[in-house]
Amino acid sequence: MNEPLVIGIDVGTSGARAVAMTPGFEISAVAAAKLADFSSDHRDPEGWRAAVEFALKALLAKLDRARVRAIAIDGTSGTVLAVDARGMPLAEPLMYNDPVTDEAILSRIAEHAPADSAAHGATSGLAKALRFKGIGGLAHIVHQADWLMGNLTGSYDTSDENNALKTGYDPVARQWPEWLARTGMDRALLPRIVPAGAPVAPISPKAAAGFGLGADVVIVAGTTDGCASFLATGADRPGDGVTALGTTLTIKMLSGQPLFAPEFGLYSHRIGDMWLAGGASNSGGAVLARYFDNAAIERLSAEIDPSAETGLDYYPLPGQGERFPFNDPLMRPRMTPRPAGDAAFLQAIFEGIASIEQLAYGRLAELGAPLLQSVRSVGGGAKNTVWAAIRARRLGVPMPPVLSEEAAAGTARLALLGAREAGKL
């Protein structure tokens, strides 16, 4: 069978994963590489490059390479590099969670950036770009995904609308805004921006030869790791939500219009003609882990009847403070009274987190999002069928299974878009 394939590559803090996908969204092969096998420093770009090359070569070894039409890469949101004209890094990258401590930089951003810009804060891409601005030989300030894409195209001057958001890009006007200059940023150092999923350039002759790929393979603009994880689930219509039940409770939804509410940490990424908005509660798995290990949760869940409510009104938090659906740094957990039985206590926590999830989707609707149509679930908590039943009753919408939990599969979906636009499918 000679059905065409595209490849999505996800680069996270621990390594790289690659998937090959058919136009029907079927994953035909998967490969991975651990960053630690190539570098002891997660900030080392050469380690990122080596992990991507290993994962891609391992994937291609499972495929007929002639079937590959397009490749896209996602990276960690807010990770920024300073490079010369040849794409060589000029300083250690600043990672997504590295804060900029220069108060002058942060003050200039606070003074000139609009209140709803994602460029505010010590870990923003803009703060990091300003930190790099004075480096000698500087040609481009790029994001992790941009640099890795540049290794495939030979050019390091392009980014996507999602990775650029925290660097001050205006996704509504679709441009680098004029106020950036007032912060001291030279916009000429910033990459040109294309939509996520847009074809960028053919693969470079060097990369094509190195991977044994055809010269007509197109490299497609990727996205952030968070957006890629959303796309991987199969959510694709306004009102489709995705809940990540991890250490925290993260809520995302596709909307027909952008939502910006910085007081809730809520911003919108542009995905095609739609917008991906979301927020994160401090509630979630961290609360459960304070009281139960995984074995206890599994054992006690078997004792719970999800159709019978405890009647307890919990707001489970791991400590003081909440971000979304309430912005209250002084908010305290509400987890009393505690029932005599551990199973009832666990159920009350499940119910409390489900209520927060319900409130969060309601908050999105209040801010202008469409009414919730469906919820797909990812993360460790998504596997608990009792909790899923409790959540389903609270949310009252279909909860279809996810197509994939591989962020690389979401990036592969963007590669499909780019391949179609480039006439490769």
The string of pLDDT tens digits covering residues 54-105 is 999 999 999 999 999 999 999 999 999 999 999 999 999 999 999 999 999 9
Closest Cα to residue 146, out of 98, 87, 215, 186?
Answer: 87
Contacts of residue 26, defined as CB under 8 A and 6 or more positions apart, other chains included, come to none
Share of the chain above pLDDT 70, in %: 100
Q: What is the pLDDT of residue 265?
A: 87
Tokens at residue 24, please? 């029907």
Model pTM score: 0.92
Q: What's the CA gap between 404 and 231, in Å, rounded? A: 9
The single-letter DSSP state of residue 287 is H
Q: What's the CA gap between 325 and 347, in Å, rounded? A: 21
Classify domain 5-226+407-421 at the CATH topology level. Nucleotidyltransferase; domain 5 (3.30.420)
Contact criterion met (CB below 8 Å) for 226 and 77: yes
- In whole numbers, what is the pLDDT of the chain averaged over residues? 96
Which ranges in 81-166 belong to alpha helices (H)? Answer: 103-112, 125-132, 144-153
CA angle 216, 218, 220 (to 5 degrees): 180
Sign of CA dihedral 66, 68, 70, 72: negative
Contacts of residue 16, defined as CB under 8 A and 6 or more positions apart, other chains included, come to 9, 10, 32, 33, 35, 48, 51, 52, 54, 55
What is the CATH architecture of 237-395? 2-Layer Sandwich (3.30)
In the chain, which stretches have pLDDT less than 70? 1
Boundaries of every domain in the chain: 5-226+407-421, 237-395
